[in-house]
Each structure stands twice: as C-alpha cells, then as structure tokens.
Structure 1
Amino acid sequence: MTMVRKAAYELRLHISLKYITANVLDKSDGSLVAQVSSIEHAIKRAFELGRTTKNPHAATVVGEVLSRRIKLEALHRNHQGLDDGIHANVYKQVQKKGVEDAAANAKIVWGIINTLRDNGIRIIVEDDNGDL
C-alpha cells in the first residue's frame, strides 16, 4: 500500500513601504501556487493613494484576490492538500527584517489572513517555532 504524502502549503508575505505581495508556495517542491500584489495594475487602480500599505482596505483586496487565485489553481492543477490548509507563521511575517512598524504590519498580515478565512481558505497559524 502506497502512502500519499500531503503537500504542505505556506503563505508568505512581503510588505514594502508602498506595496503588499502575497504568495502561496508548495513546500514539497518550492513551486508558486498563487500570487497577488497590490502593484498589479488592476489592484493598484482601486486605491486612490499610492501607498497601499497605509490603506487598511488594501489587505482585504489582496486577501480576496489571493483566495480566488488559490481556488482556481486548486481546480486547474489539482493541488491536493490545499483543503488541508495553508500554513502561516504570523510572527515571522510581522517581524520580517527591516520592518519599522510591527503593529501596522500585524494589521496587514491579519487582514489578509482573516479575508482568506472569510473566503473559505483554511489557514493554519503557527508561532515562531512552527508550532500550531
């Protein structure tokens, strides 16, 4: 009997002074499953101000678009294991190198995670040690 190993997926965020980028990676092979960035023309146009990271609505939009792309990718490429959840180390995402305002970063990170959850994506939050 052959055991099928479930792939583990990970949410990684990059928050610059101007833009938010969210990636979902397949940790088994390092491939990109879905990606969205507030620098994309269609998303960027939705915000009147240039700095999307200062706009709390930006995290929600990034989360909504990412959830749709995750669902489409799961359908088209049959990524088994996405239903088992996407891992997110919130502490690591908030405390990334060069972050000056961890509280503002935390609002963005949690905004994206909560929007993903609201759109039916299972997110497994881990602490800094990788524990649930």
Structure 2
Amino acid sequence: MSSKIVLIVLGLFIVIAVMTLRPVPVVEEENALVEKGIVSYIFESQSNDIIFKLHENDKIFYINRGTKAGLDAHVLRKKLIGHEVILKYPKYWTPLDWDSNLRHLSKVEMGNEIVFNEFKN
C-alpha cells in the first residue's frame, strides 16, 4: 500500500515539475489574448525583463529579456506612460502563477506603431 502512495506522490511531483518548467507557448497573433489600457508603470527587472502595468488592471505584463532584445525601459516610460496600448499575449497556465496575473507579452502596440513584436510574420 505504501509503495502505491510513493508512486502517486512521485507522479504528481513529475506532473507539477513539467507544468512549472514548460516554456511559454508560441501562438499565432490571431489566437492571442488582447488587453487594452493606459500604461501607468514600466520598469526593468533584475532579470532584464521589461514590466508593464496598466491603469485599473491587476495583471502584470512583461517582455521576457526585453533589454536584451534592445528595449530600454527609460525610453519606453517616456513614450508609453499615460498612453493607451494594445497588449497581446498567449493563454497559458503555470503553477508559479496559479491566478494568471503575470502575462508574457508577445506584442505591444501604441496607435499604429508596433513597439514590440515577437510574432512571426
């Protein structure tokens, strides 16, 4: 009986590890989720991510390794804070973000300008 419990616990551990460590999925732009809002906050994390907050929105959006992709948080702050943007991101879930409040950005648009895009054309 105890060996079954050990196998079940080990199986659950493996499933959780795989779900936690899987990469953010790459989706087509037409399948991405979309959020519109006024940018209220932008900063660079210690891991070189660019973090976005929208006014009256609880989600935190980020461009993974944004500074390594050539983006500058200071320039983005001057350009985007106080302006409406369209953010596009894939739908996915991970145990590290169980309530889906941290969203990996695939595209950032302001008006007719594409600020960031990792979708393939």
- TM-score normalised according to structure 1 size: 0.22
Between Structure 1 and Structure 2, which shows a larger proportion of helix residues?
1
Between Structure 1 and Structure 2, which shows a larger proportion of strand residues?
2
Question: Rg larger in 1 or in 2?
Answer: 2
